[in-house]
Structure 1
Amino acid sequence: MIFLFLLHIKRTFQNHLRTFRNIYLNAFIAIFLFQLIACEKIPTGIVEQTSLYNKVKTISAPSNFSYSSTDSILVTTIEFEDSKYIGKVWLQIKSDDGSTTITSSTQMFDNGNTSISGDQKANDNIYSAKVGISKKFSNGKYFIDYFVEDNIRRASENVTKVASHYFNYNNNQVSYPPIISNLTIPNSVSRGESFIFTIKVEDGNGLGDISQVYFKLFRPDGSLVDPQNGLGYFLMVDDGNFNTFGDATAGDGIYSFKNSFSATTQTGQWKFEFQAKDKSGNLSNVIIHLMTVN
């Protein structure tokens, strides 16, 4: 009887052992297949997918570029250590302050087509592009941003900015200073009263050449008001934000400012000194206005 009981225990143990071995074997096969599939999607040794394409070796672009009637094409290249996982490369060019866009998306190629993209040799991991820059664009600093779309991640997650380059642009046109006029501002206000004032600005090189329209403010005792912006003067805007700044229409050349004097403000005659500056650094005429604060 004891022998039969021990035999039953032995057989039960052997059955459990076989079951455990089968489970372990199946788990091992599943893990192996998972790793095999994963290795097909992400190459061995890659820890972060973003490191597949953003290893930029060199960027070639001018530090200074001048417009010419015979040649207004800017050529730039970007070289990668490896392009296996690169799906697409493109660039955009904007002014330093973001107000002007020369191109929002120009594709770069590694196809050896010198006439279209300026690329010298195909499949050498160097991507090239040609960008025409018109004389209508204002002088100043511009930046080139380079982007890569990889061929591994999902479409909504596979775009990364990989490099930037700054250059100075000279349109070789006569640079005209801005002109300010048509100041609209009250002659007197009471403390605590909100008021809006506007001024018109013009420029022979176009409104896009305007860098700043501003005013300095002097108290009745002659001291300069510090706007706490590091400039020493207050910036006016032409952005169409009426609620905040009192500007009715964006981009119409009429700059605005909304202000009020607090209850503790000095009463008497305040001086406003208006001026504008373009992107070449040219200054406009100065308009001075005296306002009585009651």
Structure 2
Amino acid sequence: MKHVLTIAGSDSGGGAGIQADLKTFSALGVYGMSVITAITAQNTLGVQAVEDVSPALVEAQLTSIFSDIRVDAVKIGMVSNQETIHVIAQQLKHCRVPIILDPVMVAKGGHDLLQTDAKQALMEELLPLATLVTPNIPEIERMIGYPVQSIEEMRQATIELSKQRVDSVLLKGGHLEGQQATDLLYTQGQHHFFEQERLDRLHTHGTGCTLSAAIAARLALGDSLTDSVAHAKRYVTEAIRHGFALGHGIGPTHHFYEFWRENHVTNH
């Protein structure tokens, strides 16, 4: 059994953050562990409140895991303050396993999840440690400082971000229009396109968390980076296809669609 660690915030609604990551790990056959960086009051309608876990407790969680359990891959999600980022960077700087950084900056409903002074810390301390960074278009725009509105601009943006000592960049193109949802991987000086049918679905909460967690799981299982991205992209697309209503707003993707489908067929 491979062991994958998520370092991220808690979503009380269960659709994103560590809850989405742990569901993804389980669905893909790896054992999930978590370090909680923040607690959010959140539901399908948005984020109502955020409270950071103290950097000392984040450090204690990391020390507890690394002192006892083998870690085969790490996924980093919501890390909202500068001191916490520094603690995580110090703990991971000697880590020799794949590290996937999902630079969570803004919630789907528009709530800012990254404090102003933390952006520079994330860029300077966590990006150089990452095997892969997985921004969406609004996030990479914040990181490079100019808009991205086309496939060609996506190419240039990934090259620009790679100059920040990043090994590889996966730019998620879901915010662009078109019949295909196109993600662009830039690694070892080459671009790789990943396309799936763009699904007209409302219930897409947690897609970014799920994608990065799925990539971490596949890397832990021994897949190459390109194969891990391809597998994760297909997994997320089907999870979106089977997303379901929950509450009164944007529902979650369905992390266990394969298992539920099999059980439904078996029971009926």
Q: Normalized against structure 2, the TM-score is what?
A: 0.22
Task: Indicate the structure with greater helix content.
Answer: 2
Task: Indicate the structure with greater strand content.
Answer: 1
Greater Rg by CA = 1
Q: Normalized against structure 1, the TM-score is what?
A: 0.21
Higher relative contact order (CA 8 A, sep 6+): 2
